[in-house]
Amino acid sequence: MKLAKISLATLVALGAFSSVASATPLEEAIKNVDVSGFARYRYENVNTEETVGSKTSAGHKFKFITNFKAAIDDNFFGVVGLRYNKADGSGNAAAGVTDTTVVNNGGNLNIHQLYLGYTYGNTTVTAGKQVIGTFFTDDAIGTGAKIVNKDIEGLTLAAIAFDALENDAQESDGALLGFARGKQAAFKKLSFIAGTGALDPANTTGTNAEKSYDAGNLYGVAAMGSYDPISFQLWYASLTNVTDLLALELAGDFDVTNDINVGFKGQFVNSDADSSIKKAAPDYNDGKFYAGELSTELYGVSLAAGYIGYKVDDRGITSFSFEDQGSLIDVAEQRNDYVLDYTLIGGKGNFWFAKLGYGIDKFDLGVDYIAGTAKYKGGKETDYQEVMPSIAYKYSKKLKFSTFYSWANIDEKGKDDYDSTKYRFEAKYSF
């Protein structure tokens, strides 16, 4: 019997054909995969007119997120998500040319989520890189574990532990993580609110200006209940080197008739600052946040009005959210450098707001208004007001166009009185 000589290349080819022959057909492999996400385009233009002149910034923002969820075996599932995020500058009128500079922080294309999940009964455990999903964050990403239990009807219990938090400038909103990255803008904001420049001065100027602060790990537990028409949320979370936050939300929604609905929402947050951040930023302190809203819908018209207040010990600085505005009551759009950024907020503030909306066919019209005063250390006071009309057109269940124009006035008593405007157009396709 002769043995044929087979080359290495032939063996590799035969192995490949064998693998293909036994591979799962594509249609079978993807039939149990759920795909979700969105593609979004935004154009934004912000203009600030101060006593010394005006400053304009404009740009195009492209964002695409797609998540693939697949059953693996028995009760296990996996999620892999991709994210494309890019910002292009718009025209530079002063130079008379088009600014093609690309703002590219952390790369345009990267992994959005990558985690493994296990479901047993009414309990789901997920571990890996995922959306944190707390009362104190918006769309922040972290690496860690999350447990959600729904054994009791109407009640959801949750626990989280994350030891790595995404905090690049494009994805993480708010000044708190800017402070963690050692950015000068965050230190300047801290100095303004506290009325002092003595905030870790060795690290805010010169060659050490970019030295970062370790915000620590994030841990939390929550209980969320929904018992029509009343719902509540109770959250505790600790960003270990920053602050411990305790939040309570109580809301109600009542149908008076088929055409009339009334509702309410109340929120309270207590911030207990960690000793380590008090050393890095001596004016960082404990604080309390309280807000309420009353709303009604009458024959297609929605109305809401409410109050937002906060107080920081010794008129210092604190945080009521870790990223963006979280789930706290929020109005209008602009985030002035010194007012209403819940991640780093200071002094004592009192604000009143109102919202008006109307839906007709595929159009939603609205206008937000907020006004109030913030008082800082050293007797400094800032009056703030903003009005924002908006319109949205729902072309289909998946495709939506929206735009708004926001005008804000910031009056720093004894210093500056200036206006800021912001315009945005957005097209979003969700799937």
Query: Mean pLDDT: which of 75-84, 201-210, 415-424 is highest?
Result: 75-84
Which pLDDT belongs to residue 95? Answer: 34
pLDDT tops 70 at residue 272: yes
**What are the tens digits of pLDDT across the range 357-380?**
999 999 999 999 999 999 988 778
Its sign, for the CA torsion 266, 272, 278, 282, is positive
Q: Tell me the domain boundaries of the chain.
A: 133-430
Write phi, then psi, for 179 (nearest 5 degrees): -65, -40
pLDDT tops 50 at residue 4: no
Which pLDDT belongs to residue 32? Answer: 79
pLDDT tops 70 at residue 205: no
pLDDT tops 90 at residue 385: yes
Residues 6+ apart with CB under 8 A from 148: 123, 124, 156, 157, 158
3-state secondary structure of 52: coil
Which pLDDT belongs to residue 195? Answer: 60
Residues 6+ apart with CB under 8 A from 147: 123, 124, 125, 158, 159, 160
Counting residues of the chain whose pLDDT is more than 90, the rounded percentage is 60
- Residue by residue, DSSP assigns 160-220 as EEEEEE---TTT--SHHHHHHTT-HHHHHHHHHHHT-S-SSGGGTSGGGTT-------EEE
Range with the poorest average pLDDT among 156-160, 197-201, 240-244: 197-201
Residues 6+ apart with CB under 8 A from 321: 136, 137, 174, 176, 245, 328, 342, 343
3-state secondary structure of 396: coil
Range with the poorest average pLDDT among 69-73, 177-181, 272-276, 300-304: 177-181
Which pLDDT belongs to residue 111? Answer: 92
Class of domain 133-430 (CATH, top level): mainly beta
3-state secondary structure of 312: strand
Which pLDDT belongs to residue 9? Answer: 42
CA 354 to chain centroid, in Å, comes to 22
Q: What is the mean pLDDT of the chain?
A: 84
d(CA 207, CA 201): 12
d(CA 103, CA 44): 14
Mean pLDDT, residues 167-180 taken together:
77
Residues 6+ apart with CB under 8 A from 61: 40, 41, 42, 43, 44, 85, 86, 87, 88
Which pLDDT belongs to residue 189? Answer: 66
| Selection from 95, 263, 134, 239 nearest residue 180 by Cα | 239
Q: Which residues of 80-92 are buried (b: 16+ CB within 10 A; e: fewer)?
A: bbbbebbbbebee
Range with the poorest average pLDDT among 84-98, 201-215, 403-417: 201-215
- Residue 164: count of CB within 10 angstroms of its CB: 12
**What are the tens digits of pLDDT across the range 85-109?**
998 888 654 433 333 333 334 468 9
| Strands 287-298 and 260-273, sheet pairing | antiparallel
